[in-house]
């Protein structure tokens, strides 16, 4: 197969821990590999793949790994990437020596063409490093990490400073750190899609409503949140009355919506602003 299939541009491999020598040869034989995705269901160490990824770096513009543990030295060679997906729980489990090696490799990496970044479970310090080495061109960021919220303030600042062209942001967030979203709003004036997933409702931020209503960019069109997001009735009304045109999206139900909230949303549902039946949002 490696002999005859040499011009694959888009290659996605699942359970890639199997048949490593053959897989390395197969990847190595590709003449114009543009996209490579490697998936395992649980963390699998395949260090041998790192070198072949380095050899294919000149043509790769899309790269993704999911629970595949590689030597991170290849990151410095991926200068042409447009899309990067990095999913790994491994570095959250006190693997200090290997975490330091990842940090060292990311510190010398450069992603001048990167437009799309998706990470899951990766510590936020390392996510910051990816963003800070992106040269300001990122348009889409999706960051999910339910376990470790260290470096959250740095993450917000990294996005605000290094992503002036960002259009879409999806992120897990705690209410106590919601104020950092304001800095992103002020600096990222092209943002039109925001997805917030609240993971800690114990520490409510008092001015979430004001930040959303007063500082959201005028390009803002889609706002999505999970069931733990808290809007006051007045705050929800003010949010709809700002100048941008909004398609208001919601994930399932909101446990804090009252009938007063639903009456407000019902009005905008009738006007075509809300794309989900208001009474489907009522959790009572």
Q: What are the DSSP calls for 93-113, one per residue?
A: S--HHHHHHHHHHHHT---TT
Domain assignment of residue 28, yes or no? no
Edge-to-edge strands, sheet with 10-14: 10-14, 35-45, 62-69, 83-87, 116-120, 140-144, 168-174, 193-200, 222-225, 247-248
Q: How many alpha carbons fall within 13 Å on the CB side of residue 14?
A: 1
Domain assignment of residue 42, yes or no? no
Query: 110 lies in which domain range?
Result: 59-280
Domain assignment of residue 2, yes or no? no
Give the mean model confidence (pLDDT) for residues 14-24: 81
Domain assignment of residue 260, yes or no? yes
* pLDDT tops 90 at residue 282: no
Mean pLDDT of the chain: 85
Q: Which residue stretches of 11-114 are H helix?
A: 20-28, 49-55, 96-107
pLDDT of residue 92: 76
Domain assignment of residue 118, yes or no? yes
Domain assignment of residue 244, yes or no? yes
Rounded to two decimals, what is the model's pTM? 0.89
Domain assignment of residue 3, yes or no? no
Sign of CA dihedral 184, 185, 189, 191: positive
Which CATH number belongs to the domain containing residue 114 in this structure? 3.80.10.10
pLDDT in tens, 169-209: 999 988 888 889 999 999 999 999 999 888 766 666 557 88
The tally of domains found in the chain comes to 1
* Residues 169/198, Cβ–Cβ less than 8 Å: no
Domain assignment of residue 209, yes or no? yes
């Amino acid at each position: 197969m490696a002999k005859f299939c040499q011009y694959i541009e888009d290659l996605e491999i699942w359970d890639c821990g199997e048949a490593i020598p053959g897989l390395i040869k197969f990847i190595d034989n590709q003449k114009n590999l543009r996209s490579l995705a490697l998936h395992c269901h649980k963390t699998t160490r395949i260090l041998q793949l790192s070198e072949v990824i380095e050899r294919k770096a000149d043509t790769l513009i899309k790269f993704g790994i999911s629970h595949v543990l590689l030597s991170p030295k290849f990151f410095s060679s991926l200068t042409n990437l447009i899309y990067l997906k990095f999913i790994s729980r491994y570095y959250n489990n006190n693997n200090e020596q290997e975490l330091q090696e990842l940090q060292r490799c990311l510190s010398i990496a450069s992603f001048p063409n990167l437009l799309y970044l998706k990470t899951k479970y990766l510590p936020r310090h390392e996510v910051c490093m990816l963003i800070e080495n992106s040269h300001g061109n990122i348009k889409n960021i999706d960051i999910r990490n339910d376990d470790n919220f260290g470096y959250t303030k740095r993450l917000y600042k990294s996005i605000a400073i290094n992503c002036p062209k960002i259009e879409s942001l999806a992120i897990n967030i705690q209410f106590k750190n919601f104020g950092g979203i304001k800095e992103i709003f002020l600096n990222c004036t092209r943002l039109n899609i925001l997805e917030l997933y609240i993971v800690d409702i114990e520490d409510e931020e008092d001015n979430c409503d004001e930040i959303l209503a007063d500082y959201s960019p005028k390009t803002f069109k889609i706002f999505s949140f999970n069931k733990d997001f808290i809007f006051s009735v007045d705050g929800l009304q003010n949010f709809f009355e700002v100048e941008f045109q909004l398609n208001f999206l919601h994930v399932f139900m909101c446990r804090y919506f009252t009938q007063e909230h639903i009456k407000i949303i019902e009005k905008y549902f009738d006007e075509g602003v809300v794309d989900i039946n208001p009474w489907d949002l009522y959790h009572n």
